[in-house]
């Protein structure tokens, strides 16, 4: 054993074999103040005023109720979401962020089993696969950064996919998703669609009415278009058999994962579709402007169906762009993964923030390419 590995063995000496072999997800940094923060796809706009009011009440006039555990099933929130998606209460599962739903999905449906996902996708999936002993296979992308639907189906295993995909920003059509589901149903295999970004492109979404299929489970979040990342609420929509499986896992882990304040906030957000539409419209408009500006600087940048852009410059390394932006206190995300290492994932901020980003990139390119 060399020095490095013996030091590592020492720090891990009390760890279980499971803890030793985990490969934790590295979340985007959350620096405090003084940054243009475009690294975790949060909303640049605040949540609905109704959300603020609901939180005030939860910690004000209703605060005495905080002595009690919250509703384990979050029924009021499930009722609001079931109306939105045209399903029943029993078709909705609420969790502490959608990451928790995703973790429970791996435990409930994939633990110890085969499953597949596009090679460029949400990097928490491989982490959950390790945690729960799922054999997750990564299917290479085609034509650049497009998911290979044929390849995924040929793998003959349940599929988990983000649609629109992250970090690529590219969406499969609703028809493609539904055809894929049908093909999987013939083999009794599950399709999980992570629709974290679907509010920015509802045309591709299958959440509404998805409960009629027993092999389609859709995951959504309040963190992005609802501007509630700080509250940590996510949910699944699907057939009641699938929802029951998620409840089995939850109740084997933590019966009350979503606190009273978060439930009140998410309920108010779910009921305020006007604010949701306003945020989506503002972000979408700024996204078009920012993409145009990036294209005129020579960046390659696909048309985005999310609240972020994924761009690379053919002549400047991603690492250099990332470091230069960071030194100007602009935080974006870069993944040190073969094939996408030169891309920057840039969350759409306010128009002022995006002007600063474009100006900074203009300056960096001038310095680097001169
Ligand atoms: N799915 C995708 C594709 C994401 O990008 C994210 C955000 N990192 C999540 C799920 C998780 O979001 P949250 O846990 O905040 O609901």
Pocket test for ligand 1, best of 28, 98, 232 (most atoms within 8 A of CB): 98
Look up residue 367 and give its two tokens: 């310095």
CA of 221 to the centre of ligand 1 (A): 7
Residues 262-280 have pLDDT tens digits of: 999 999 999 999 999 999 9
Q: Is 6 helix (H, G, I), strand (E, B) or coil?
A: helix
Residue ID of nearest Cα to ligand 1 atom 8 = 40
Q: How many CA atoms lie within 13 A of 352 on its CB side?
A: 4
CATH placement of domain 50-271: 3.40.640.10
pTM of the predicted model, to two decimals? 0.96
- Contact status, residue 189 vs residue 157, Cβ threshold 8 Å: yes
Between the CA of 326 and the centroid of ligand 1 the distance, in Å, is 23
Q: Given this model, what pLDDT does residue 27 score?
A: 87
Asked if residue 13 has a cis previous peptide bond (ω within 30° of 0), the answer is: no
Quick one: which atom of ligand 1 is closest to the CA of 234? Answer: 16
What's the CA gap between 329 and 226, in Å, rounded?
26
Q: Which of 40, 221, 225 to mutate to test the pocket of ligand 1 (most atoms within 8 A of CB)?
A: 221
CA 104–ligand 1 middle distance (angstroms)? 14
Helices (H), ranges, 86-166? 97-105, 124-132, 149-154
Same fold: 34-47+274-369 with 50-271: no
Ordered DSSP codes for 289-349: HHHHHHHHTT-EEPPPSSSEEEEEBTTB-HHHHHHHHHHTTEE-B----TTTTT-EEEE--
Per-residue pLDDT of 307-318, as tens digits, reads 999 999 999 999
Q: Is the pLDDT of residue 132 over 90?
A: yes
Q: Are 351 and 286 in contact (CB under 8 A)?
A: yes
Domain ranges in the chain are: 34-47+274-369, 50-271
Q: Which residue has the tokens 């491989």?
A: 126
Select from 124, 180, 128 the least CA-distant residue to 154: 180
CA–chain centroid gap for 315, Å, is 30
Provide the token pair at 83.
């109306």
Ligand 1 centroid distance, CA of 96 (Å): 11
State the pLDDT at residue 5. Answer: 67
First to last CA, the chain: 48
What does residue 369 show for φ and ψ, rounded to 5 degrees?
Answer: -95, -5
CA distances from 33 to 113, 166, 328 (A): 44, 26, 14
Give the integer Cα–Cα distance in Å for 99 and 281.
Answer: 25
Atom of ligand 1 nearest to the CA of 223: 15
Atom of ligand 1 nearest to the CA of 233: 16
Q: Are strands 308-312 and 344-347 parallel, antiparallel or unpaired?
A: antiparallel
Q: With bands split at pLDDT 50, 70 and 90, how would you rate the model's confidence at 29?
A: confident
Mean predicted confidence (pLDDT) in 193-201:
98
Q: Whose CA is nearest to atom 2 of ligand 1?
A: 196
CA quadruple 32, 33, 34, 39: dihedral, nearest 10: 60
**Residue spans of alpha helices (H) in the chain:** 3-11, 17-21, 49-59, 75-85, 97-105, 124-132, 149-154, 174-185, 240-250, 260-271, 273-296, 318-327, 351-369
Task: Check residue 9 and give its pLDDT.
Answer: 72
Quote the ligand 1 centre to 103 CA distance (angstroms). 11
Nearest to 342 by CA among 164, 127, 145: 145
Question: Which residue owns the Cα nearest ligand 1 atom 12?
Answer: 98
Distance 99 CA to ligand 1 centre (A): 6
- Bridge partners, residue 205, by sequence: none
Following DSSP, what letter does each residue of 188-252 receive, concatenated? T--EEEE-TTGGG-GGG---TTGGG-TTEEEEEESSSTT--GGG--EEEEE-HHHHHHHHHHHTT
- Ligand 1: atom nearest CA of 98 is 16
For a ligand 1 pocket test, name from 122, 167, 227 the mutation site with the most ligand atoms within 8 angstroms of its C-beta.
122
Q: Which of 99, 195, 265 is the best mutation target for the ligand 1 pocket, counting ligand atoms within 8 Å of the beta carbon and taking the most? A: 99
Q: β-strand 234-238 against 92-95: which pairing, if any?
A: antiparallel
pLDDT cut 90: percent of the chain above it: 94
74-104 burial string, b = 16+ CB within 10 Å, else e? bebbbebbbebbebebbbbbbbbbbbbbbbb
CATH T-level assignment (fold) for domain 34-47+274-369:
3.90.1150
Per-residue pLDDT tens for 216-244? Answer: 999 999 999 999 999 999 999 999 999 99
Which pLDDT belongs to residue 200? 98
Q: Which of 149, 139, 140, 138 is nearest to 171 (CA)?
A: 149
Convert the pLDDT of each residue in 34-54 to its tens digit: 999 999 999 999 999 999 999
| Tokens coding 198 | 């679907």
Pocket (CB within 6 angstroms of ligand 1): 97-99, 122, 162, 166, 194, 196, 221, 223, 229, 234
Please tell me the distance between residue 215's alpha carbon and the centre of ligand 1 in angstroms. 22
- Say if CB 257 and CB 321 are below 8 A apart: no
- Please tell me the distance between residue 165's alpha carbon and the centre of ligand 1 in angstroms: 11
């Amino acid at each position: 054993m060399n020095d490095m590995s013996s030091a590592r063995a020492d720090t891990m000496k009390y760890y279980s074999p499971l803890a030793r072999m985990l490969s934790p997800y590295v979340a985007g940094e959350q620096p405090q103040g003084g940054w243009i923060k475009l690294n975790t796809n949060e909303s640049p706009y605040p949540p609905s005023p109704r959300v603020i009011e609901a939180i005030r009440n939860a910690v004000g006039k209703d605060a005495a109720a905080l002595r009690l555990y919250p509703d384990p099933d979050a029924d009021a929130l499930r009722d609001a979401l079931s109306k939105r998606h045209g399903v029943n209460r029993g078709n909705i599962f609420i969790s502490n962020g959608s990451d928790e739903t995703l973790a429970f999905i791996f435990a409930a449906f994939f633990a110890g089993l085969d499953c597949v996902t596009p090679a460029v996708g949400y990097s928490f999936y491989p982490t959950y696969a390790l945690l729960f002993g799922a054999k997750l296979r990564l299917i290479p992308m085609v034509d650049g950064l497009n998911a290979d639907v044929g390849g995924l189906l040929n793998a003959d295993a349940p599929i988990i996919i983000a649609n629109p995909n992250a970090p690529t920003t590219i969406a499969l059509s609703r028809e493609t998703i539904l055809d894929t589901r049908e093909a999987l149903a013939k083999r009794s295999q599950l399709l999980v669609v992570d629709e974290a970004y679907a509010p920015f492109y509802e045309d591709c979404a299958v959440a509404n009415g998805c409960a009629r299929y027993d092999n389609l489970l859709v995951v959504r979040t309040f963190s992005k278009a609802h501007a509630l990342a700080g509250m940590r609420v996510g949910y699944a929509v699907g057939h009641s058999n699938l929802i029951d499986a998620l409840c089995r896992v939850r109740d084997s882990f933590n019966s009350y994962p979503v606190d009273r304040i978060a439930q009140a906030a998410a309920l108010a957000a779910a009921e305020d579709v006007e604010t949701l539409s306003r945020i989506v419209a503002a972000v979408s408009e700024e996204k078009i402007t920012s993409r145009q500006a990036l294209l005129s600087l020579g960046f390659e940048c696909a048309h985005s169906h999310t609240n972020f852009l994924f761009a690379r410059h053919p002549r400047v390394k991603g690492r250099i762009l990332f470091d230069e932006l960071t030194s100007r206190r602009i935080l974006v995300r870069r993944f040190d993964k073969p094939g996408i290492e030169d891309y920057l994932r840039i969350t759409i901020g306010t128009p002022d923030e995006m002007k600063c980003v474009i100006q900074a990139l203009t300056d960096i390119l001038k310095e680097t390419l001169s």
